Structure 1
């Protein structure tokens, strides 16, 4: 179950970071995946990415995977809470699209 705090609108960066973490990835992998998913439109700077990762870890939306203690690369993966957040966001976006199409028309 997702609390009210977790059903807020997501930024594009957070949305794409969560989507990219449906498979375990390290930071640079996330940056590449987000750029690929968005067809190059969204490019994450390292500071933006690692700030978001820190926040997502605190919220419990992603988790750090145990890894090689000698490696600086940490891998992350979306949590079950994060998956609920993504599902809520997809439903919110679907509602926005439906409402827009009803008013403007579907032939944009």
Structure 2
């Protein structure tokens, strides 16, 4: 899973639409990730194609996205993988 995919799924723990998602990603990454619309909508399309997110509402002006059960499972699996990597990296501490 790419970093962009991870942060979009993380930000979609609470359903959101595109513009709010950009702000939510910046917030959950503590300002480290500033995702532009090109990256955001490209990744949203891929996540939707992979059945990791779904559109909850489309009023013609904006779409509200949410994770699917598969998306939540993928996010949790990636979180565990990242924790394992941190644990493995502790060898550098001494």
TM-score range, shorter chain: over 0.9
Give the Å deviation of 1:66: 2.8
Q: Distance in 1 between matches of 2:82 and 2:48?
A: 24
Q: Distance in 2 between matches of 1:75 and 1:66?
A: 5
Q: Distance in 2 between matches of 1:63 and 1:42?
A: 23
1:44 match? 35
1:59 match? 50
Query: Unaligned stretches of 5+ in structure 1?
Result: 1-9
Q: Distance in 2 between matches of 1:97 and 1:21?
A: 24
CA deviations on 1:58-101 (whole Å, 9 max, x unpaired) are 00000001343xx4110000110001101110111111111111
2:83 is equivalent to residue 97 of structure 1:
no
Q: Distance in 1 between matches of 2:82 and 2:57?
A: 34
Give the Å deviation of 1:25: 0.4
2:72 is equivalent to residue 83 of structure 1:
yes
Relative to the length of structure 2, the TM-score reads 0.93
SS in 2 for 1:65: strand
1:5 match? none
Query: Unaligned stretches of 5+ in structure 2?
Result: none
Relative to the length of structure 1, the TM-score reads 0.82
- The structure with more strand, counted as a fraction of residues: 2
- Size of the aligned set, in residue pairs, is 94
- Deviating runs (4+, > 3 A) in structure 1? none
Q: Which structure has the larger Rg over C-alpha atoms? A: 1
